[in-house]
Amino acid sequence: MNHPAAYIPRDRLQSILNGTPLPKSSTGTVLFADVAGYTNLVETLVMENKTYEGVQVATEQIRHLFDLLIKEAHRRGGVVMAFAGDAITVSFENDDGLTAVAAALAMQAEVARDEGDLQIKIAVASGEIRRMVLGDPAIQQLDVVT
């Protein structure tokens, strides 16, 4: 398992370490990227291998794919907010949309070059961004962006 800090958005981690709160709202852009074809890939690999070895292969592929997406987001100052299955949410503070769109295009190019059958669908929205932490600290908390 990675260090727990790997699962906390970079700006939230800095906020915790510095003892300073994040602003509750800001202006910027949020990018949501969903891997198209991943479920079919997992099903095919499981059927071909007749074991859960196919799941392990698919897990390694999605990890590699996320590494590519995260690299492109971080290169442009994006903060990875959340993962949900085969999707990733990234925020770009103080962005008018151009930086996030550049990241989206770079992500699509990387996936096309590296993954062959997999594609990503990406949505980008700009405007007011609100941040909050939801959940029970004794069970689980999520860093949420709207």
15: left (phi over 0), alpha (psi -120 to 50) or beta: alpha
Q: Residue 1's pLDDT is what?
A: 44
Closest of 5, 15, 145 to residue 89, by C-alpha: 145
Closest of 118, 96, 93 to residue 108, by C-alpha: 118
> Distances from the Cα of 65 to the Cαs of 28, 33, 115, in angstroms?
25, 11, 8
Q: Residue 6's pLDDT is what?
A: 60
131: which strand partners? Answer: 145
Q: Residue 115's pLDDT is what?
A: 58
Write b or e for each residue in 61-88: b if 16 or more Cβ atoms lie within 10 A of its Cβ, otherwise e.
Answer: bbeebbebbbebbeebbbbbbbeeebbb
pTM: 0.79
* Stretches in the chain below the pLDDT threshold 70: 1-7, 49-52, 54, 115-117
